[in-house]
Amino acid sequence: MGFPKEYQFLSELGLGPRNPGCYANGTWRGDGPVVGSYNPANNHRIAEVVEASIQDYEDGMQACTEAAKIWMQVPAPKRGEIVRQIGDALRTKLQQLGRLVSLEMGKILAEGIGEVQEIIDMCDYVVGLSRQLNGSIIPSERPNHMMMEVWNPLGIVGVITAFNFPCAVLGWNACVALVCGNCVVWKGAPTTPLVTIATTEIIAQVLEKNNLPGAIFTSFCGGSEIGEAIARDKRIPLVSFTGSTKVGLMVQQTVNQRFGKCLLELSGNNAIIVMDDADIQLAVRSVLFAAVGTAGQRCTTCRRLLLHESIYQVFLDQLTAVYKQVKIGDPLEKGTLMGPLHTAASKQHFASSIEVIKSQGGKILVGGAAVNSDGNYVQPTIVEISSSAPIVREELFGPVLYVMKFQTLREAIEINNAVPQGLSSSIFTRKPELIFQWIGPHGSDCGIVNVNIPTNGAEIGGAFGGEKATGGGREAGSDSWKQYMRRSTCTINYGKELPLAQGINFG
């Protein structure tokens, strides 16, 4: 039995009504529980997936360990060529894979396609990087000595991704890890298994075409038991985890116990500050995209809006007007600006959170209710609330925007920095002195500090990540590649004497 008409495009991605969810040692298998993949727009089942068992995991890891010995010996520019081919393969499936992201995750089609484009962009980026994994030559204080830094692969990188970006975050990690000479072990989100399978199949075909071991890229659909196995596995020197702060802390503790390395991308509680000299229309458009995009389910979603008292009401009037025009509906339909939340549980959490907000003095200005439908739809919501309300310190993973008033930039910065999270932040102003205060040592304490753009929509060329409870990890561009390699400081004595450092004379 095949797919119904609206799901026919899934066949072009190699998917069927029932799919093995483990790619290990170059073959598809699955000996774990059978789970369903659901369309959040109507909660109908799309297809079934047979998840990986712990035995599948162990078999996959044994093969991956052997493949790592081969892959790290391939010259870095040749590894870059393989990733270039992965990018080209993704280009041929851009529309289909982007449509699947929208169907299974719930983000609108433009965002789904944009997510796949992000992996393609990462592939392009690391092709150049494969010829620039440079070390340093360091002056030695000793005659006839040379010091240098040598960068070598770690071996295997584990990547655990979340539902909100079911394939882009893989790209941030896997593209860099592969050109650095590492094999990749990927556990996708349990609720987006079809994206995991389809993305893996595209990568697997490139490896096969180049007569490379399929185990260079190993992937598992599964639940927490697979994630825990990755965190505990001493064969995986680096684990990259994207998800909640609560789970990320547990992953970090487990990995640290075996002296592994962790790259954490956790919760965000991001603020936009609008100063009295800001371009109001530009800021309104930015806040709309930052707060409503992906139905508020980005880690970089704007959750707090800080408005200067002199423009407070003018700005709020314009923002509430555009909020009321947001088209909510099927993410695959043209004109939809906000799709559903990812799961029915998220919809229930939204409703209960609104009650908590009201109990803490929050005043609902727009929205504030779930939409009565078969899908997981809710209304984009604006809440007037005090910055001291306890719920403002939490990451509510939905389209809820808290609005607050301030008098001075210093006050706004203190509010911005007062939450446990430290991912992204933005200010809207044209005054250079305010801009440089904002990005300076006494400004925003976030890893991403923007001016006159939203909190979300980061470019791949910069390092992505945050401080405090966001985890401190960095992915994608800049020098993030260094996390995926092992640094050795190498000193070579090419003379006949043995001078010691610091002028020590040892007899």
Q: Which residues are catalytic?
A: 265
Q: What is the largest CA-CA distance in the chain?
A: 85
Query: DSSP characters for 84-101?
Result: HHHHHHHHHTHHHHHHHH
Residue 271, amino acid: A
* 163 vs 112: CA distance, rounded Å: 12
* 107 vs 332: CA distance, rounded Å: 8
* 188 vs 219: CA distance, rounded Å: 8
Q: Which two tokens stand for residue 344?
A: 């029915």
Query: DSSP characters for 16-35?
Result: -SEEE-EEETTEEE--S-EE
**C-alpha 202 chain-centroid distance:** 20
* 489 vs 135: CA distance, rounded Å: 9
* 36 vs 20: CA distance, rounded Å: 12
Strand, coil or helix: what is 272?
A: strand
**C-alpha 468 chain-centroid distance:** 17
Element spanning 172, H or E:
helix 168-179
Residue 69, amino acid: K
Bridge partners for 448 per DSSP: 424
* 69 vs 491: CA distance, rounded Å: 26
Number of Cβ within 10 Å of residue 386's Cβ equals 12
Helix ranges, 191-343 (H):
193-209, 224-232, 245-257, 280-292, 312-323
Question: To which residue do tokens 């923007």 refer?
Answer: 450
* 319 vs 422: CA distance, rounded Å: 25
Strand, coil or helix: what is 175?
A: helix
Q: Which two tokens stand for residue 415?
A: 């509010």
Q: Parallel, antiparallel, or unpaired: how do β-strands 44-50 and 27-29 relate?
A: unpaired
Q: Which two tokens stand for residue 312?
A: 């407070």
Strand, coil or helix: what is 204?
A: helix
Q: Which residues contact 73 (CB under 8 A, 6 or more apart)?
A: none
